[in-house]
Amino acid sequence: MRYTKISVTLESDIETELRQVAGTRGISAFVNEAVRQQLQAVRLRSLLDEMEAESGPIPEDVRREVDGSVWPD
């Protein structure tokens, strides 16, 4: 896998907590995974928006049924 070095600017309190939480796996690995997850969320939101534009919004009764479902861990 190829890697590219970039520079980012963080709020100082975020940087402090990041250093504490990242631990031995390192800041780069932690940030890489966080960005991967955020990109996945953005792609999913885009897909859901496309589906809604094509098929219309999810009916309210279906939303209530899903909201009341118990999801596995």
- 17: containing domain: 9-38
Query: What's the structural domain count of the chain?
Result: 1
Does 55 map to a domain?
no
Q: Is the pLDDT of residue 53 over 90?
A: yes
Q: How far apart are CA 8 and CA 14, in angstroms?
A: 12
Does 62 map to a domain?
no
Q: Is 22 exposed, middle or buried (0-12, 13-18, 19+ CB in 10 A)?
A: middle
Percent of the chain with pLDDT over 70: 100
Does 20 map to a domain?
yes
Does 17 map to a domain?
yes
Q: Is 18 exposed, middle or buried (0-12, 13-18, 19+ CB in 10 A)?
A: middle
For residue range 11-46, what is the model confidence (pLDDT) as tens digits?
999 999 999 999 888 999 999 999 999 999 999 999
Grade residue 68 by pLDDT with cuts at 50, 70 and 90.
confident
Does 58 map to a domain?
no
Does 14 map to a domain?
yes
Q: Is the pLDDT of residue 70 over 90?
A: no
